Amino acid sequence: MSHLKQTVALKDVKCFALHGYYPEEQLTGNHFIVDLETEFTPQGFDDELAQTVNYEELNNIILAEMKNTQKLLETVLNNIISKVTALYPFVDTVQASIKKLNPPMPGQVGHSFVKLSYTSAK
């Protein structure tokens, strides 16, 4: 007996935002790349959005949270995951990650990276 799992995700969502621990980061801003992935058991395949996760809504959540300046990227990711699980309580897992491109620190750093993963208690 097979057990289907469905993934709906957005990869490489590019944003400019004012996130950063240091006050100057919140003034100058930086470029970020966000990935968001959900996994769940499909409720059916009747060609209706009510049966799945709408990636347009995922994009809206990402863009809204990226506009909400935070000191820590972990806070941004937690807020994204909280909104996804509230909107789609049937999801089994959610993974969200952010890359901060060229973070302001000595040396040449391509990006910093933070990832949070949620697993349902079902």
DSSP letter string over 24-45?
HHHHH-EEEEEEEEEEE-----
Statement: residue 1 has pLDDT above 50:
no
Give CA–CA dist 113/78, Å, rounded.
14
Statement: residue 44 has pLDDT above 90:
no
Mean pLDDT of 101-111: 90
Check residue 2 and give its pLDDT: 55
- HSE-up (13 A, CA, CB side) for residue 76: 31
Please report, for the chain, the start and end positions of each structural domain, with discontinuous segments joined by +: 6-119
Check residue 110 and give its pLDDT: 93
Residue 57, Ramachandran bin (φ over 0: left; ψ between -120 and 50: alpha; else beta):
alpha
Mean pLDDT of 3-9: 93
Top pLDDT among 45 and 90 is at 90
Task: Provide the residue type at 4 as one letter.
Answer: L
The domain 6-119 is classified under which CATH number: 3.40.50.300, 3.40.50.1820, 3.40.1360.10, 3.30.1130.10?
A: 3.30.1130.10
User: Global pTM?
Assistant: 0.93
